[in-house]
A = this chain, B = another copy of it.
Amino acid sequence: MAEVAGGESLLFLTDEQLRKGIEAMFFAYRGFTADPDRILEGLDYGRAHHRAVHFIHRSPGTTVSNLLAILGVTKQSLNRVLRTLIDDGHVKSEKGKADARERHLFLTEKGEALERALSDAQRARMRAAYRAAGPAAVAGFRQVLEAMMDPEMRSQYNRLRDGG
C-alpha cells in the first residue's frame, strides 16, 4: 500500500490492466461453470438448479425468502426450479413450526449426492487453480473479489462465511 501511495505501482490501475482483469473474469467464469454444466446437461437441469442446490446444502432449513435474497431472482423464477427439484426428490420442503407460512428447504439423500457430484467437479478445478497459484495469490484473489461485490451481496457472502 505504501508503494501505491508513493505512485510506484499505479500501473496496475491503467485502463489496459483493468481491461485484462475484465477479460480474465469473463474467461475464468466460463471455466468456473464448465464442469458442473457438463454434469447438469444430462439431467435436464441448468445452472439455476445448481445454485439452488448449492445454497440449500450450505444452509439446510433455509426458507424460500432467504434463498430469494441470496440468489437475487424472482420467486416465480425460483419456484420453477424448486418445483422440479422437489418433484425429482432432490429437495424436500417442510412447513415451519414457529411460523407455518414459511417453507424450510432441505436436500434429500439423493439431493446431497447430486450436490456432492456438482461441487466435487467445481472444487477440483478450484483446487487445481489454487494449487497452481499458491496461497499468497489466493489471498489476493479473495480480496479483489470481495471488493468487487455489491455491499448487499458482500454482507450475504460474509453472513454465509461467518456462519461456517
Binding site for B on A (CB under 8 A): 1, 3-4, 9, 12-13, 15-32, 34, 51, 54, 58, 72, 119, 122-123, 125-150, 153-154, 156-157, 160-161, 164
Is the pair B72, A30 in contact by a Cβ cutoff of 8 Å?
yes
Given A18-B126, A127-B18, A135-B9, CB of A24 within 8 Å of CB of B142: yes
By secondary structure, the A interface counts as: helix
Q: Is the CB of A150 within 8 A of B34?
A: yes
Q: How far is the CB of A148 from chain B (nearest CB, A)?
A: 4
Kindly list chain B residues whose C-beta atoms are within 8 Å of the C-beta of A146: 24, 28
Residues of B within 8 Å of A26, CB to CB, are 51
